[in-house]
Amino acid sequence: MKVRAIQSVAVMTGGGDCPGLNAVIRAVTKTAISKFGLEVWGIEDGYLGLIEDRVHVISYNEVSNILTVGGTILGACNVANPFHYQKVGNSNQARDVSCNCIRTLNSHGIDALICIGGDGTMTSAAGFAKKGVNVMGVPKTIDNDLYGTDITFGFNTAVTTATEAIDKIHTTASSHHRVMIIEVMGRYAGWIALHAGVASGSDIILMPEISYKLDKICESVLNRSRRGKKFSIVVVAEGAKEKGGEMVVAKKVANSPDPIRLGGVANKLVVQISERTSLECRAVVLGHIQRGGTPTPFDRVLATEFGNMAVELMMKGITGQMVVLKDGKLSNIPLSQVAGKIKTVPKNHHLIKTAMAIGTSFGV
């Protein structure tokens, strides 16, 4: 939709942290200041900063030397949905405080908002677009589950980190003749498990899109043992579940846009597999190490391109969109098409077929 002339832009990082966030902030700020002469504002701690009016002007120097730094200089928050906000520690019913956020923008003369985040952040961004805010989305998640884009920045770094960890676990598994079960992140999608599993040469990959059979997993590790392979590597996505069973939930966060926190499937499998096979099993939960550290060169480049593209589109009068990478090219799609959707791994994905062809089990 056509927007009024933009003289200032704000940028925020919503949801969980992710390698490459600072690269986007840097690209947005430098493009806005150097090319268009805009004033740039930073929203602190995601939508919570908009709700609580915690913003500041970002200078050119503030974003120097942050390209390689993990995390986000602006802070993040994954428990602040402006359209369904419940203050932490407050038992009162959640309420819509989106008007407070718009008031924050208007009070500082901010003409446009760039929201960096995943599906929850984009859903709220779509809501602001409906209310007339000049908003642009930049897709971020290590899980690579954001609808509409082939890849999100942060995913490549997470896969690299997970693969390096599994490589190290491989040697100790071999030394002690153990079945090592490594749990990776991904929520309801198996992208990290699939890519890290294939890259590390794991023997079994378990993911949400393909419900596993416990008997098949036990059969696989026992067959390896009989063939003289005295260890096995099992990579399991946190959202993987047994056929006919449920995902393992670690806890629920009531005031979060996505209250379910998955986790614990690796520990569950350790008990089940060791009981059925008498093989020694150990669980390793990689957890937040996958979110940390310096972004890979791929993610630095992608994040920089996304940040620049977001500003370029806005200055062309395009808003209410999310920047995407589709078929190797930068493009954009309406935020309304992204809201409320996730991108899972198709069961006929070429990497699943490749893994099966070389003998990798998916527990089916």
Task: Tell me which residue has tokens 């993990």.
Answer: 70
143 catalytic residue (yes or no): yes
In order of 70, 114, 256, the CA distances from 101 in angstroms are 27, 14, 18
Question: 179 with 56: CB under 8 angstroms?
Answer: no
246 burial class (0-12, 13-18, 19+ CB within 10 angstroms)? exposed
* C-alpha dist (Å) from residue 229 to 174, 175, 225, 277: 9, 12, 5, 14
For the CA atoms of 60, 66, 72, 73, what is the dihedral angle to 10 degrees? -50
DSSP 118: S
* Three-class SS state of 249: strand
DSSP 94: P
d(CA 143, CA 153): 10
In sequence order, the 6+-apart residues with CB closer than 8 A to the CB of 77 are 14, 45, 46, 47, 48, 49
Q: Which of 17, 143, 203, 299 is catalytic?
A: 143
> Is 149 in contact with 137 (CB distance < 8 Å)?
no
Question: Among all chains, which residue has been given the structure tokens 């405080």?
Answer: 97
Please give the Cα distance from 316 to 310 (Å, whole number): 10
Name every residue whose Cβ is closer than 8 Å to that of residue 41 and which is 6 or more positions away in sequence.
Answer: 8, 9, 10, 11, 55, 56, 57, 58, 108, 110
Positions marked catalytic: 143
